[in-house]
Amino acid sequence: MGEIETLQNKLGHEFEDRGLLNRALTHRSKSPDNNERLEFLGDSILGFVVAEWLYERFPGVAEGKLSRMRSTVVRKETLTKIARSLNIQNNLILGEGELKSGGHNRDSILADAMEALIGAVYLDSGMEKTKEVVTRHFDDVLQALTPKSVYKDPKSILQEYLQQRSLPLPVYEVVQIEGEPHRQTFQVSCTVQGYDEPFIAVGSSRRSAEQLAAKKAFSTLNA
């Protein structure tokens, strides 16, 4: 059994349209026909499937806590772990630069490919099959969730801290983007009322940079 067949077997879905599978595994460093659009779709579908599961499982839990529970499931760390369990790293289609720099082991690339794969399953076979695939591979994380064991990301923590003190929400802005399209770094500022200087952080994505900036801000405010 080849690598791609092993991946499909572990995933629990054999693609009718192999082109979708190939696109889901193709990084932007390799081709303009890459997985970014499928990643966008898969991110939304994953969020929906998890939200529906949480809505039905926890009927008495408020929206804010449900949102944080969903964030625990769909965060990069979880996606990367599942991607590695499927050996996605052995099937990624990367450009020469990413191959040389070890892109097949980069967490952000693996997490993006996992989302793209979910989007590809949806286009290939519809929502019911996608739900089956998602619940199968995210089951351990979902089953471990309780309203009391919710992971709060730094942005949520900072937001709650400010809201409790009736202060305006922080403002995030991208200050600078550097690097080649396939290896960009984002510098983000987090402005909080009462502080003249914004809190600055750098990450491999806008999202990660915002989280790091929020963490800096909260550490200072809560010192």
Please report the sign of the dihedral spanned by the C-alpha atoms of residue 25, residue 31, residue 36, residue 42. negative
Per annotation, catalytic residue among 98, 112, 115, 124: 115
Q: Extract the tokens encoding 208.
A: 């990660």
Write phi, then psi, for 70 (nearest 5 degrees).
-60, -40
Task: Give me the catalytic one of 43, 98, 124, 210.
Answer: 43
Is residue 140 flagged as an active site residue?
Answer: no
The three-state (H, E, C) secondary structure of the chain, written as one string: CCHHHHHHHHHCCCCCCHHHHHHHCECCCCCCCCCHHHHHHHHHHHHHHHHHHHHHHCCCCCHHHHHHHHHHHHCHHHHHHHHHHCCHHHCCECCHHHHHCCHHHCHHHHHHHHHHHHHHHHHHHCHHHHHHHHHHHCHHHHHHCCHHHCCCCHHHHHHHHHHHCCCCCCEEEEEEEECCCCCCEEEEEEECCCCCCCEEEEECCHHHHHHHHHHHHHHHHCC
What is the CA 93 to chain-centroid distance, rounded? 19
Q: Is 115 a catalytic residue?
A: yes
Residues known to be catalytic: 43, 115
